[in-house]
A and B are shown apart, each in its own frame.
Chain A
Amino acid sequence: MTTRRRADPDPVPDPGPALDAHLVVRRAGFTLDLRLTVAAGEVVALLGPNGAGKTTALRALAGLQPLHAGHLRLGDRVLDRPDTGLLVAPEHRPIGVVFQDYLLFPHLTALDNVAFGPRSHGVPRRVARDAAAGWLDRVGLTGHARRRPRELSGGQAQRVALARALAVRPQLLLLDEPLAALDARTRAETRAHLRQHLAAHTGVAVLVSHDPLDAMMLADRLVIVEDGRLVQSGDAATVTARPRSDYVARLVGLNLYRGSGDGTSVTLPGGFRLVAAEPQRGDVFVAFPPSAVALYRQRPDGSPRNSWPATVSSVARNGDRLRVELAGPLPVGADVTAAAAAHLDLRRGERVWVTLKATEVVGYPAVSQPTG
């Protein structure tokens, strides 16, 4: 018997092509208009609320959804250009897709699932199966080659799906909510595992997620998509420090407002004025964390320059603190310790005084930054 030869991984990583896309897809009641540029070796996460168009964008990249306008270029090859009528079908694109439900072929074993891609590209069956076995090793599923998808756990199935997508050596790797179907513990393991493979992948990778933690851990860059449009793009630190949309703000737990700065303070819609750490001019965002908000029974002494009376609208647990939502001239969320809450006797409907140090209020221009 000959010993099984494992397919070797590429000894020298090859930079591969970059992705340049302007995705326009029109649907009833919704239009996706997204510009996306990804460098070779980069992992970009499309992050946004449900219905934002992330999956539509992914399907357009895969060729499962034709563009209505714009273009899609991978390296020096144009895959979709509606105005010249050029459209490359998915089977001719150098892509690999990991689907949300994995979509492992139920009638094939794990090995044959992974070998499916290479075989479809004309690789002889024996060679394809050897390569598939190599990939299964690499995702840590050595003994599972002969199992059917229904015999695999969620985490195992996810890894087979990943191996299947990687086995075709795609220049563009697409992942649609790769961790969504997993329970919390498996998710953490699989996330680490996936991160390794994405790092090793030399082509372009675009993943879609509605979970910011997954996105931040797996991707080099976040692209926030809301209502079919790109709202913000940048690495995780930048995006979370200076969110440009309610969605991200809520995601990272910041209080975010948009208003007009006149140098000394920022006027928010409704006339409320906030003093920020630094002078701001023009159309600006202002943000501050809930922990920056202090609550008092009466108007405090001293000169906090932002202070106003408010009413408690809800109190909820938030880790080891309490998140207090306050209604008033400016609705804010505040984080207080349990002790402080007890001392203040915080209950729904209670009147309190809110103060906010100007130094904690961060302002930044609202004009869209150039996309990354």
Chain B
Amino acid sequence: MTVTAPPAVSRRRRRTDRRPPVFLALPALAGLAFLTLPLAGLLLRTPWGQLPARLTAPGVLDALRLSLLTATAATVLCLLLGVPLAWLLARTRFPGRGLIRALVTVPLVLPPVVGGVALLLVYGRRGLVGGWLDSAFGVTLPFTTTAVVLAEAFVAMPFLIIAVEGALRGADPRYEEAAATLGASRWTTFRRVTLPMVGPGIAAGSVLCWARALGEFGATITFAGNFPGRTQTMPLAVYLALEQDLDAAIVLSLLLLTVSVVILAGLRDRWVGGLR
């Protein structure tokens, strides 16, 4: 087969979508490398041969199940409390609103262990609220799975609130006026107009919230303690495994990573518009 030389035309090819400029592409690639190389390191160091044995070791699946359960429960709690709070911050005016907004983001800057200590001081057996709960109902929170959910919700809620507040600010309040003129009560308007319109923002915030809750360590171990099957989530299991056995820690980390990535990647783009 003969090959004919291409006609002598300019080398510049016209493309319908332009290549990203170099001053953006290079740092972007560097950022990508920065984030993914540690994952690659983990994969390279994984003791693949021992994987089946280690994955079926006692406590591993318990920790995974507990992690997924508590992260989801924490996200639900964040939604129930965080969406109304975000609505208040976005849609109403009251004195001190700026201060409230700053307070809501405190868990973001607080070291998680400090958050855990703070939770103990309030909900612990001798805490402000916990003491009353204990004496009035005999209910103690620390060292329970509930405590894990509370600790995770505490650190993750700001993510949800910020995302939802942003979405609400972007939504046009005139639609709510239109709904009112059509006879919709405030609850009906919220349920049938406001929420659906900020749905993607809420979904994106929930994903962030869930991911943060899943990875929480410091507040959990300080407030809820560490007990296999009840309060030992995956991050705690990894930490303790690291004390003795690097391979075990790597396997656990890989398991948590895989499950998280599968779940997060499985969320369709259009459900999570904001995180596209």
A touches B in complex, CB < 8 A: yes
Across the interface, which residues of A come within 8 angstroms of B271, CB to CB?
Answer: none
Interface membership of B239, Cβ < 8 A: no
Closest to B176 in A: A103
- Indicate whether A90 reaches chain B with its CB closer than 8 angstroms: yes
Among residues of A, the one whose C-beta sits closest to the C-beta of B199 is A107
A62 CB–B CB distance under 8 Å: yes
Output the least CB separation between A263 and chain B (Å). 54
A120-B177 CB under 8 A given contacts A106-B197, A107-B196, A107-B197: no
Q: What residues of B have a CB within 8 angstroms of the CB of A96 in the complex?
A: 181-182
Closest to B184 in A: A120
- The range of chain A's interface size is 20 to 34
Which residues of chain A from 80 to 123 have any CB-CB distance to chain B below 8 Å in the complex? Answer: 89-93, 95-97, 99, 101, 103, 105-107, 116-117, 120-121
Tell me, in angstroms, the Cα distance from A342 to B179 when the chains sit together: 60
Whether B183 contacts A97 by the Cβ 8 Å rule is no
Q: Which residue of A has the minimal Cβ distance to B185?
A: A91
Q: How far is the CA of A120 from the CA of B180 in the complex (A)?
A: 9
Q: Check B197–A164 contact: CB distance below 8 A.
A: no
In the bound complex, how far is the Cα of B175 from the Cα of A105, in angstroms?
7
Decide if A120 touches B196 in the complex (CB within 8 Å): no
Binary per-residue interface labels of chain B (156-174) against chain A in the complex, 1 for a CB within 8 Å, 0 otherwise: 0000000000000000101
For B177-211 the 0/1 string (1 means CB < 8 A from A) is 11111111110100011001101000000000000
* Residue pair B183, A121 in contact (C-beta under 8 Å): yes
Are B180 and A91 in touch, CB under 8 angstroms? yes
A116 touches B179 (CB 8 A): yes
At the interface, is chain B mostly helix, strand, loop or mixed? helix
Distance in angstroms from A130 CB to nearest chain B CB is 18
CA distance A91 to B174 in the complex (A): 14
Which residue of chain A is the closest to B181 with respect to CB atoms? A97
Chain B residues, CB < 8 A from A93: 181
Q: Contact at A116–B184, with CB atoms within 8 Å?
A: yes
Contact bitstring A168-187, B, C-beta under 8 A = 1, else 0? 10000010000000000000
Shortest distance between the CB of B10 and any CB in chain A (Å):
41
Closest CB in chain B relative to A292 CB, distance in Å: 47
- Residues from chain A with a CB closer than 8 A to the CB of B172 are 103
| Measured CA separation A62–B184 after assembly (Å) | 14
With A and B bound together, what is the CA distance between A116 and B172 in angstroms?
18
Measured in the bound complex, the distance between the Cα atoms of B200 and A19 in whole Å is 43
By beta carbon, the residue of chain B nearest A167 is B182
Chain B residues near A101 (CB-CB < 8 A): 174
Q: Which of A63, A99, A107 contacts B178 (CB 8 A)?
A: A99
Q: How far is the CA of A105 from the CA of B179 in the complex (A)?
A: 9
Whether the pair A90, B193 counts as a contact (CB closer than 8 A) is: no
- Given A103-B175, A106-B197, check contact A116 B181 (CB 8 Å): no
CA–CA, A93 to B180, complex, Å? 9
* A91 contacts across to B, CB distance below 8 A: 180-186
Chain A residues with CB under 8 Å of B175's CB are 103, 105
A64 to B181, CA, bound (A): 8
B186 neighbours in A (Cβ, 8 Å): 91
B188: A residues at CB distance < 8 A:
120
Give chain A residues whose Cβ lies under 8 Å from the Cβ of B180. Answer: 63-64, 89-91
B185 adjacent to A62 (CB under 8 Å): no
The minimal Cβ–Cβ distance linking A314 to chain B, given in whole angstroms, is 41
Q: Kindly state the separation between the CA atoms of A187 and B123 in the bound complex, as whole angstroms.
A: 65
Known: A120-B184, A164-B182. 20 other contacts (CB 8 A): A63-B180, A63-B181, A64-B177, A89-B180, A90-B177, A90-B181, A91-B184, A91-B185, A92-B183, A93-B181, A95-B181, A96-B181, A103-B175, A105-B178, A105-B193, A107-B199, A116-B179, A116-B192, A120-B182, A168-B183
26 A-B pairs with CB atoms under 8 Å apart are: A89-B180, A90-B177, A90-B181, A91-B182, A91-B183, A91-B184, A91-B186, A92-B183, A97-B181, A97-B182, A101-B174, A103-B175, A105-B178, A105-B193, A106-B197, A107-B199, A116-B179, A116-B182, A116-B192, A117-B182, A117-B183, A120-B182, A120-B184, A120-B188, A164-B182, A165-B182
